[in-house]
Structures are given as structure tokens and as C-alpha cells.
Chain A
Amino acid sequence: MTGTLGKDLLGLESLTGDQIRLILDTAEPFKEISERAIKKVPALRGSTIVNLFFENSTRTRISFEFAEKRLSADTVNVSVSGSSVSKGETLVDTARNLEAMRIDMVVIRHSASGAAQFLAERIQSNVINAGDGTHEHPTQGLLDILTLRDRFGDLNGRRICICGDILHSRVARSNIWGLTKLGAEVAVCGPRSLLPNAIDEFGVRIFDRVEEAIEWAEALNVLRLQFERMTAGYIPSAREYNRVFGITRERLDRAPGDILILHPGPMNRGVEIDSDVADGPHSVILEQVTNGVAIRMAVLYLLAGGKPELAEAAKGGGGRGREDRE
């Protein structure tokens, strides 16, 4: 059975503004569950979920796992080093084997763009994209948006700038789609060698200087700079990147108004973001992490066919919740 999101969550490009709002609204009651002493409700009891990670990830995998466990699902983690993939099994064979084990959902992280869609088209289970190559990372986009909405209320007309390596960032793509659909004004800022050549056609504003971005924006989403970008020659050095594009206290001090700082993590302190910014008053970075669990609970719940209006009730759990604690 599928909810109002359809079978899978592959990206924010294919969602409507209403569907995105539905996920954000559904996440609200789930936030509270994580604040309890007993952080568990029975909404997905009996469901089997595989977390299929073909790429290293710590926080996304843990966040999904907590979300699944707090909804009482049975979970199995498959990481690339311990699976038959390293023995040369193809993704399509992996998919067929999962299908044969009658699992309910797959959370997939893969280094190839399109891998989540590839899997979704070949199995009946729900598929959640936990990051595919440089394509999309929808739950990260959603948790960023939820964090912004917590602070701004409505995102319509709000000015958000995504800073850094847009070219290789699935987080940037999901943010651009999601924010745009909710009516926010979106900009990007970074070295031109790390922006897609066709960025003009995304319908976003472009800043070549981070100072201009800070002057314009009400929130900056600061992307991690992957060190392989230096070795591949996209930019000369981390030192220069920090000098030209780093988010520093000095630069933020010149912001004309309040400005929120987001970072999808993990951070390179002293490269794209300075420690006194990451740990400072503008930062909502840890709120993002907290919201990540709620967003993932909402997505799992909705894809499993949960009724959004029952999310509030689901968190109560009643007698079944107690049963579950045994």
C-alpha cells in the first residue's frame, strides 16, 4: 500500500509543493517522540527495512536507522564491504535478491546518479533515496527545509543561498528543487569551476563573491568541500578556498541582518566554514541533525501508507506502544 507520496522517494524534483509540505507537516509530531524517555512507537511494527549503503556514510545511515527503530521496524544494514557487491554482483541482482526476501522498504545510498531510480523500477518494495551520486539527497533537502521553516515560519520569498561545490552536490540539487517549489528565492555561490555550466537555466541567482551572498541572503547552506576536488584540479587549494569562499566570523559580521548558517555535514572546519561560525549563534547545524530523524520517520511512515492525519495519533501508540516496549 502506498501513501500520497507514491511508491518511492527518489528526489524532490518529482514532488509537488503540497507533497513537500505534507512531509514537513508529518515530521512535526514525530519530532516529539525523540524527546521522550522511551523513543518508540509501533507505526511500522512488522515492516522489514534494508539500509543498503554502497557508499560510506555515518550520519545518514545512523539517522535512518534511528528513524526506523523509533517506528518499530525491523532493520538490516548492508554496507558495501560486507556484501556480495564486492564480489562483483550487479545492482540488478542485488535488487532481485532483496525482492525475493520480501522486504518492505529499501533505503539506498549509492555513488551512481540514478541508482535509486534504477532499483525502484525493478522492485515492488518502497525505495528511499539516501543519496545517489551527484543527483539528489531528498531527505537531506527536506531536513534542511524543515530547519529553515522552523525559524522562518513560511519559506515564501525567503532568500536562501547554497554555498560551495554545487557541481558535485546532491544536497544542492535537492535543496534547489525543494526550496523553489515552496516559493523561496534561491541563490548559489561558489567558484565557477564548481558550478554546473548550465546553472543559469536552474532559475537561481548566482553570486561569484561570498560577500555578496552574505549581503543578500537570510540563510546560507554551506556545503562540504570534498578534498578530491583539489586533486582533480577544480580549485587550487583548501587554503585559498577558505580565503575566498570560507564562511568566517568577519564576513558574517558584515551581514546587514540576521543570517542562519546551515551545513549538511560532516564539516571541514577551517575550510568552508570556520569553527566560530559553526559553533556560533548563527548556526542551526545541530537542529538539522535532530530534524533529520523526524523527517526520515515522516517519509518512512508516509511511504508505508500511513495517513498524515493519524501521525499525531501514531505517536501516542496507546496500548500497542506499551506492548512494544516489552
Chain B
Amino acid sequence: MKPLLLRGGTLLDPSQRLNEVGDVLITDGAISGVGSKLATPDEAEVIDCAGLIVSPGFIDVHCHLREPGREDVETIATGARAAAAGGFTAVCAMPNTDPVTDNQAAVGFIVRQAQRAESSRVYPIGAISVGQEGKALAEFGEMVGAGAVAVSDDGKPVASAQLMRTALEYARTFKIPVIDHCEEPTLSAGGSMNEGIVSAQLGLKGIPAEAEEIMVIRDILLARLTGGHVHLAHMSTKGSVELIRWGKERGIRVTAEVCPHHLSLTEESVRGYNTNAKMNPPLRTAKDVEALREGVKDGTIDLIATDHAPHHYDEKEREFADAPNGIVGLETALAVIVTNLVETGHLTFSDLVDRMACAPARIFGLPGGSLKRGAAADVTVFDPKARWKVDASQFVSKGRNSPYDGMTLVGRAACTIVAGSVVYRSGNPVRGREKSVRTRG
């Protein structure tokens, strides 16, 4: 593998308080030099990064890659390539596949498919309960041994407080977070959007904010009881932010994520029965969006994750209440955050890199998240000023279900590097890792 020199970009790495123009040299899949005007080794490929930001690779700890089971909708390979196109060097795949990823063989399958994809890294998340049925605990130890980095019954809440308690206790041995999809199922049953004036006007059954918040506080209290690490997926309400703040002030081991759509859209997007604005948890109100932005700014919300959920076109092309939940997010996440949080002054680019790269690596104990010498060379190069119109038909993902289709956003990945190999270059999606990089001129 030839060395790679990223020349003249703005190096942004909150893990070492780095924010300066300089070069990054990558040799043998690791970062071998960071500084200004580094010498170009013989045969190195030079990538001109002038005007671009060079940061630790983004990590998405929450996506649905649909394989095994729904390969017509997404595969691990297409999902990994979509991740690369969005600037993500690694993603974590949720276990609500068919069959459920609830044992070491299933986890191993995902690891192997990810290796064959030769694109961004894919880390499996194992199920909390066998079959995600909320009854018997899955084999955390076996799954971690096969490569799982966390456990979750995502897609469904862990309805039983006793099972959640046990999971938090049992996960301590393996030092993995237990991720919960916070939803009190009897309160949310039949709901298809946020409960409020819009649901009342549209005649759609609503899901109150309290359905999420009841489970948020339950999980925080169970983390206090057990000393386990609970990670709360896709937070969507103002109340949740306040409850997490309460937990963190007391030193409880709670971390949390928020999705780009909950930071940028409200329930108003559902008007007209737009099924691409249907997801669970649902889009909430402007007050919730503001509180979530504050939460991600002050660190109450630790990180940003996409909840990338591709669906077949036909499945979204139907009556709102019957349409499936979820939207694709890997290829728009960066731009949605730049447009709605950086350009509005809520986050600096340094904060963005922390919430999308450093914090996910730190909290999930994953490689990457740093440009320090010796670290794995997972690097994202992005153009903070690129203005582009989202065209879902051009997504690398198989999914087209995006509420941002047709919108003009700012910020786009220019180059994604995994273990020293380029897996994506703007305007030229790479199929697999570039093995033989040729120097030019």
C-alpha cells in the first residue's frame, strides 16, 4: 500500500485540540505524521485538501443495513458504500434483521459480509433478547467474542424493566453499552406521528413525548441501580434532554444520541401525509428541536447518529398510517448538521467532529476518532462550504426515502479513507477500497 499525503487541509481533531492548516501522512494504514509542510515520501499519493476539513473518520453508531433478510432494500455492502459516500468510515448495524442478529453466528456473518464489502467498516450490534422478543437474554459474551460492539433490541423497546435491569448488569462483564429504543409501548400503540395539534388536525393517532420520556427516566434509574452503561438511542424530546441532564449531573452512566432529522425537522413536515417524514420516534415540535440542539451543543446529548432506515419505494408509497417508519440518513447527515447546526451557530465544526467522530469512538470503544500519530487511518475529508441539491435517485444506498430530497444543503464529504485506503471520492463513488493507488504527474 502506497503512502497517502493529505495536503493543506484544515486539520480538525478535538481529541488532541487540533485546529490548524496542515498535512496528514498515512503509511501502512496508520497515521504516521501530522504537521505543516510534511515531506512527500516517494510514490506517495498526494490529495490536495486546500479549503477542506480533514478530521477523524465519522462513525455512525445507529443504522439499519437490512441484511440478512431484506437485501432488496439494502445490503451490508451497499450500506457500507453509502456510509463512505456520507463521510462515515464506520457504522454500527442494528440487529433487527431477519433472522435477528442474536447469536455469534449471525454476528460473524455481518463481520464477514463487511470484510467482503471492502468499504467503510461495519460493526455488528447484537440483540438484547433472543429474537428481540423481550423475554430471554441473548448470549452477550458469545456475540462480543464474534465482534459485536453493543447490544440493543432497537426497533422495539425493552418493555420489561426486569429484563433491562438484567441486561445492564450482565453487560458490565463485557464493557459494552446497552442501547435502548425508548418507547412505552402501551402509550405509543397505534400512533404514527407526534401527538399534538398536527396529529389532531390530520386525524392521525399521536405518540406523546411522554412515551419516550417515561422510558428515558426508567433506563436512567436502572443504570443508577446497576452501574451499567445505558445508551439512549434517537432522543427526540425536550423532556428527554432534561432527564438525561438530570442523570449526568448525578454521575449516572447514561449516554445519548440524536438523529439529524430530529435536529432539523418538525411534525409540520408530516402535513400532506408525507410518508418520508414518518419515523419512530416521530418528528416533534420546534421547542423539542431547539432543546435537542442545545443538548447536543452542551454535551448532554453525546453524539449524532443517523438511524439510517432504508425502505422499498413501494412500502412508503401508501396510506400514512400503514407506511413503515424510517428514512435513509447516511448520505445527508453531514450536510443536515452543517446546514442546521453549524451555519445557525449552534455548533462549531470542531463540535461537529466531536459529536460525529470522537464521541462515538470514545463511548463505544471503537478504533478511530483521532488523528494522533499511530492511530488507525480512518479519516474524513469534507468540504464545509459545498452547496448541493439532494437528489435521492443518486444515493449510493438502495433507499430513496429521504425527507431532504430536493433540498439544497451545505457541506459534503470529499474523500473517505478507511485504514489508509480511499473508499470514497466526491463525484466518483469507489467500489471497494482502492488497492493500488497511482501517483500522478
26 CB contacts below 8 A, A to B, read: A90-B318, A91-B318, A92-B318, A112-B320, A112-B322, A113-B202, A113-B203, A113-B204, A113-B273, A114-B203, A114-B273, A114-B319, A117-B272, A118-B273, A133-B321, A134-B203, A134-B204, A135-B204, A196-B199, A197-B195, A197-B206, A198-B195, A198-B199, A198-B200, A199-B200, A201-B197
B196 located at the interface, meaning its Cβ lies under 8 Å from any Cβ of chain A in the complex: yes
Chain A residues within 8 Å of chain B by Cβ, number: 24
The listed residue with most A CB atoms (<10 A of its CB), out of B202, B204, B272, B317, is B202
Q: A90-B314, A90-B318 are in contact. Are A132 and B208 (CB under 8 A)?
A: no
- Of B195, B203, B317, B320, which contacts A173 at CB under 8 A? B203
B201 located at the interface, meaning its Cβ lies under 8 Å from any Cβ of chain A in the complex: yes
- Nearest CB to that of A232 among chain B residues? B190
- Of A115, A117, A198, which contacts B197 at CB under 8 A? A198
A86 to chain B, nearest CB (A): 15
Return chain A residues, CB-CB under 8 Å to B201. Answer: 13, 173
Return chain A residues, CB-CB under 8 Å to B204. Answer: 113-114, 133-135
Return chain A residues, CB-CB under 8 Å to B208. Answer: 197
- Nearest CB to that of B208 among chain A residues? A197
**B163-216 interface with A by 8 A CB criterion:** 195-197, 199-206, 208
B194 to chain A, nearest CB (A): 10
Return chain B residues, CB-CB under 8 Å to A13. Answer: 201
- Nearest CB to that of B200 among chain A residues? A196
B334 to chain A, nearest CB (A): 32
In the complex, per-residue mask of A103-115: 1 if CB is within 8 Å of any chain B CB, else 0: 0000000101111
**B318-338 interface with A by 8 A CB criterion:** 318-322
A144 to chain B, nearest CB (A): 17
**A118-170 interface with B by 8 A CB criterion:** 118, 132-136, 170
Given contacts A113-B320, A135-B202, 18 further A-B contacts (CB under 8 A): A13-B201, A90-B317, A90-B318, A92-B317, A110-B319, A112-B319, A112-B321, A112-B322, A113-B202, A113-B203, A114-B203, A118-B318, A132-B203, A133-B321, A197-B195, A197-B206, A199-B200, A201-B200
In the bound assembly, the distance between CA atoms of A170 and B201 in angstroms comes to 10
B319 touching A91, Cβ below 8 Å:
yes
Q: A117-B272, A117-B273, A198-B195 are in contact. Are A136 and B318 (CB under 8 A)?
A: no
In the bound assembly, the distance between CA atoms of A50 and B388 in angstroms comes to 44
B200 touching A115, Cβ below 8 Å:
no
In the bound assembly, the distance between CA atoms of A112 and B314 in angstroms comes to 17
B411 to chain A, nearest CB (A): 32
B86 to chain A, nearest CB (A): 30
In the bound assembly, the distance between CA atoms of A201 and B318 in angstroms comes to 29
Return chain A residues, CB-CB under 8 Å to B317. Answer: 90, 92
- Nearest CB to that of A90 among chain B residues? B318
Q: Which 8 A-B pairs have the closest CB atoms?
A: A135-B203, A114-B273, A112-B319, A196-B200, A134-B203, A113-B203, A198-B197, A201-B197
In the complex, per-residue mask of A184-205: 1 if CB is within 8 Å of any chain B CB, else 0: 0000000000001111011000
Return chain A residues, CB-CB under 8 Å to B322. Answer: 112
In the bound assembly, the distance between CA atoms of A123 and B200 in angstroms comes to 27
- Nearest CB to that of B321 among chain A residues? A112
- Nearest CB to that of B192 among chain A residues? A113
B200 touching A202, Cβ below 8 Å:
yes
B202 touching A114, Cβ below 8 Å:
yes
In the bound assembly, the distance between CA atoms of A115 and B322 in angstroms comes to 11
In the bound assembly, the distance between CA atoms of A201 and B208 in angstroms comes to 16
In the bound assembly, the distance between CA atoms of A196 and B203 in angstroms comes to 10
Return chain A residues, CB-CB under 8 Å to B272. Answer: 117
Return chain B residues, CB-CB under 8 Å to A117. Answer: 272-273
B89 to chain A, nearest CB (A): 39
- Nearest CB to that of A114 among chain B residues? B273
Return chain A residues, CB-CB under 8 Å to B202. Answer: 113-114, 135
The listed residue with most B CB atoms (<10 A of its CB), out of A91, A113, A133, A197, is A113
A193 to chain B, nearest CB (A): 14
In the bound assembly, the distance between CA atoms of A69 and B319 in angstroms comes to 30
In the bound assembly, the distance between CA atoms of A110 and B200 in angstroms comes to 18
A158 to chain B, nearest CB (A): 23
In the bound assembly, the distance between CA atoms of A136 and B197 in angstroms comes to 15
In the bound assembly, the distance between CA atoms of A115 and B272 in angstroms comes to 10
Return chain B residues, CB-CB under 8 Å to A202. Answer: 197, 200
B196 to chain A, nearest CB (A): 5
